[in-house]
Amino acid sequence: MNDNNPSLEQQVVIARLEDFDPRSGNLGERAIFNHRPWVVLFCLLVTLVLGYQASKIGLNASFEKTIPTSHPYVANFLERRSELSGLGNSIRIAVQIKDGSIFDKDYLDVLARLNDEIYLLPGVDKPYMKSLWTPTTRWTAVTEEGLDGGTVIPDTYDGSAASLEQVRTNVARSGEIGQLVAGNFQSSVIFVPLLEINPVTGKALDAGELSRQLEALRDKYQNERIQIHITGFTKIIGDLIAGLAQVMLFFVIAVLVTVTVLYWYTRCVRSTALVVLCSLVAVLWQIGLLATLGYDLDPYSALVPFLVFAIGMSHGAQKMNGIMQDIGRGTHRVVAARYTFRRLFAAGMTALLCDAVGFAVLMVIKIQVIQDLAITASIGVAVLIFTNLILLPILLSYIGVGAKAAERSLRAETAELKANVKHPLWSFLDLFTRRSWAYGACLVGLALAIGGFAVSLQLKIGDLDPGAPELRPDSRYNRDAAFMTQNYAASSDIFVVMVKTPEDQCTRYPTLAAVDALAWQLEQLPGVESTNSMAALSKIAAAGYNEGNFKWYELIPNDGALGAVQTRAPRELFNQGCSLLSLYVYLADHKADTLERVVQTSEAFIAQQRLPDVKFMLAAGSAGIEAATNIVVKKAMREMLFWVYGAVILLCWVTFRSWRAVLAAVLPLMLTSILCEALMVGLGMGVKVATLPVIALGVGIGVDYALYVLSVILTHMRAGATLSEAYYRALLFTGKVVLLTGITLAIAVATWAFSPIKFQADMGILLAFMFLVNMLGALILLPALAYFLLPQRLFVKKPEVAGALQPVGEG
């Protein structure tokens, strides 16, 4: 966007500062440039204060922020969260023996020591911890007289062959096979319920710390015979936080790569260093402001510093480029800085406004983490106005640019303008302003759009990978999760239907019969593996109460018998006051289709439900929350596209005042959006909380390119140039910068592809793709479309339109 000032007037070259009238320029310019030391001092102070604040920024990964808390399903869940004890936070640690079986002295010794160490970890709900070694793990058998039982590992255990055999027998009759003990007897589980608030310290559970302690224990006890597998929500969060710290390293890589690109472009150490410094200051301010406002960096908003840095780099590059050209012409560096400020402040504001629109649109999505992202990004953009539109020119006015680089820049510019020989790349791009190439480009674009659209129809909502979708499929955690699913009757995808009844009425026959009917309907659906509920337990209990005879397996329509089951029922099936039942639906996966089927069947059942005083409610459990998230995301995707395209079209129209130009600018963006969706299908990504912002950011930032290129084309065509000439001018003025911006932005976000956090990698790949394709669209498809949409006769017939060709945001 440098030099894209439509007036294109060449400022007078003023070599000596004394010849320059400091009272020239608008109020803003005078206010800033006539008090340069104060501005620098102010910025220095702000940097110190915010830098101190930034050091206090926390890393966090909150679950609640990633879910749509206003959706009725989630609201239902949150309202009754304390009563849903089955969904409490817990960790499951499987200790596996590679050879032999768990009925092994060494194995049980290791298990005992691990068990004792975990027992002492802060945050563990000690009385409810369960493993082969806890006294709560018992065996039971029915005798003629009643019940017989004891702990699975007897008090007399001494590690001898006989006592190991005793343990084996007890395990077999404990009913724990598939729960605490794997069916192949090669592993057993330590079940560790966690307290959300530590009653001793009163502090909330520190997932990151607990996760590190568990990893330390894993390192300590794992060897070639013993493998340890850890799963649980807190472990996911812990791994995310660990991954987030790692992502910060990528920031360094992104900085290094963009510095290299910029230096390659300018060949000037001084100015490159300044641009990087200002962009880093922007990031520092942004993080400092976030910390001051009480925000943490989460895995989503960690994207923003990357974007802010990259956007800052591209704007800084343009400022520097302008100053460099002026200095090259012989202008004094202070005057050059002021000229550049005059020419580019408005244009820079326009571009930043476009970016801001892309971010702001995200506020329509009622998911806090995305709204936080929008706010964080808005702060970042606001900060950029200070650091890169004001501070950078001022610093450049002190330091200037390298003389050689300035000459080189001027030489290149004049050579390109005067010489008849165009740079091969520019000649190639110029081809697209001719009939046959324009036809070709448009046809290819159309073909891509149609093909991409056909593919994008298969775009799924939600997460598609098994295990914890936040982490990579081959991550330690997901391999552990796969081990659990293989060896234990456990599913990590749980959908819970809540059933509200009057106090103490939760085990009435009609209620349980309805729960049972819904459970059986749901079990018919593909993707539903099994269900569990008070109704299912009551059937088993009926057999249990009748000497274990299977023939009593039925929901006996007798409220006395059903009520008696309560005393033996695990608390996760009903609440303390017996007014809330939970129907657990265990799913094979959390694909959107599976969730949608469960939701639809449940909703249809609820609609026909006629029991007085009994209310069936969706939905809790990981899959229940995910179902709600999918619904919100699906709706938000349409809304968001509507808003972001609406805003972009409006912005383009205000800038161009020509619907043809708007079409030429927006059609390539739409192609990018379609191709991005097709790419998601190809990479097996679904539309989810993480990928949704990408779509808006891609369009919001992508339209910059079109704005820069097209505004110059229009100016020159309105001045009478042919499309080819106008486009060549545009390439020389802004094309280079578009290339540079596209590449720096893409590189900055592409480093994310290596993140251990799966959705960050997804975001990085998609954003990099969108930035690159948008750049190509602006350089190839846009001139081709202009050939058809903006024929020269338009400008001959209506010369009066030309007057309106000012960029927005002036003054």
Please report, as residue ranges, which positions from 175 to 194 form the binding site for another protein (by CB under 8 A).
175-179, 191, 193
Residues that bind another protein (rule: CB under 8 A) add up to a total of: 73
Smallest separation (angstroms) from another protein to the CB of 516: 9
Sheet of 90-97: strands edge to edge? 187-193, 90-97, 226-232
Which residues within the stretch 721-780 sit at the binding site for another protein (CB under 8 A)?
none
Instruction: State the minimum distance, in angstroms, from the CB of residue 162 to another protein.
Output: 18
CB of 70 vs another protein, minimal distance in Å? 26
Judged by CB under 8 A, which stretch of 97-105, 257-265, 484-492, 673-681 contacts another protein? 484-492
What distance in Å separates the CA atoms of residue 585 and residue 594, rounded to the nearest whole number? 11
DSSP state of 25: S
* Measured CA distances, 376 to 290, 382, 384, 553, 633 (Å): 7, 10, 12, 57, 20
> Could you say which DSSP state residue 67 is in?
S
Shortest CB 487 distance to another protein, Å? 12
Which one of residues 24, 549, 722, 792 is an interface residue with another protein (CB under 8 A)? Answer: 549
User: Which residues in 450-469 contact another protein (CB under 8 A)?
Assistant: none
Nearer to another protein, 47 or 134 (CB): 134
* Interface map 498-537 toward another protein (x if CB under 8 A): -----------xx--x---x--xx-xx----xxxx---xx
Verify binding: residue 547, another protein, rule CB under 8 A. yes
Q: In terms of CB distance, is 372 or 516 closer to another protein?
A: 516
Taking the C-alpha atoms of residue 300 and residue 762, their distance in angstroms, rounded to an integer, is 11
- Interface with another protein, residue 174, by CB under 8 A: yes
Binding segment for another protein (CB under 8 A), chosen from 29-37, 167-175, 222-230, 598-606, is 167-175
Residues 104 to 143 in contact with another protein, rule: CB under 8 A? 130, 139-143
Is residue 608 part of the contact set for another protein (CB under 8 A)? Answer: no
Nearer to another protein, 7 or 143 (CB): 143
**Cα-Cα-Cα-Cα dihedral sign, residues 554, 557, 559, 560:** negative
How many CB atoms sit inside 10 A of residue 312's CB? 29
Nearest residue (CB) to another protein, 76 versus 531: 531
Helix (H, G, I), strand (E, B) or coil at 210: helix
**Which residues, in sequence order, are bridge partners of residue 471?**
757
CA–CA separation, 522 and 529 (whole Å) = 9
Query: Side chain identity at 364, as an amino acid letter?
Result: V
**DSSP-assigned letter for residue 732:** I
The distance of closest approach from Cβ of residue 186 to another protein in the complex, given in angstroms and rounded to an integer, is: 15
Q: Hey, what are 326's tokens? A: 């002026």
Q: What is the number of residues in the chain?
A: 811
Beta bridge partners of 574: 581
Pick the closer one to another protein by CB: 486 or 549.
Answer: 549
Beta carbon of residue 591, minimum distance to another protein (angstroms, whole number)? 19
Radius of gyration, CA atoms only, the chain? 33
Q: Closer to another protein at the Cβ: 511 or 711?
A: 511
- Name which of 182 and 648 has its Cβ closer to another protein: 182
Which of 40, 364, 464, 540 binds another protein (CB under 8 A)? It is 540
The edge-to-edge listing of strands for the beta sheet with 615-620 is 528-532, 580-587, 494-500, 615-620
Binding of residue 100 to another protein (CB under 8 A):
no
Q: Minimum distance between the CB of residue 84 and another protein, rounded to whole angstroms? A: 9
Min. distance of Cβ 133 from another protein in angstroms? 15
Position 551 contacts another protein (CB under 8 A): yes
Site string for another protein, 557-586 (x = CB under 8 A): xxxxx--x--xx-x-xx--------x-x-x
- Give the per-residue contact string, 581-600, with another protein (x = CB under 8 A; - = no): -x-x-x--------------
Question: What is the signed CA dihedral for 614, 618, 621, 622, rounded to 10 degrees?
Answer: 170
Q: Which residues does residue 528 pair with via DSSP β-bridges, in sequence order? A: 587
Q: Near another protein by CB under 8 A, which window of 70-78, 487-495, 685-693, 773-781?
A: 487-495
> Is the four-CA dihedral 592, 593, 594, 599 of positive or negative sign?
positive
User: Closest distance between another protein and the C-beta of residue 265, in Å?
Assistant: 56
The first and second tokens of residue 110, run together, are 């290791």
CB of 144 to another protein, least distance (A): 4
Closest contact distance (angstroms) between CB of 246 and another protein is: 30
CB 530 within 8 A of CB 494: no
Query: Which of these, 144, 134, 141, lies nearest to 172 by C-alpha position?
Result: 141
Q: How far is CA 80 from CA 84, 217, 574, 630, in A?
A: 7, 35, 12, 21
Q: How far apart are CA 539 and CA 557, in angstroms?
A: 11
Out of 62, 292, 378, 546, name the contact with another protein by CB under 8 A. Answer: 546
Q: By C-beta, is 455 or 489 nearer to another protein?
A: 489
Contact set for another protein, span 367-426 (CB under 8 A):
none
Query: With respect to another protein, which residue has the nearer C-beta, 128 or 788?
Result: 128
Least distance between another protein and beta carbon 747 (Å)? 43
As measured in angstroms, the least distance from the Cβ of 375 to another protein is: 36
Q: Which of 78, 489, 649, 753 binds another protein (CB under 8 A)?
A: 489
Q: How far apart are CA 262 and CA 20, in angstroms?
A: 31
Distance in angstroms (rounded) separating the CA atoms of residues 165 and 109: 16
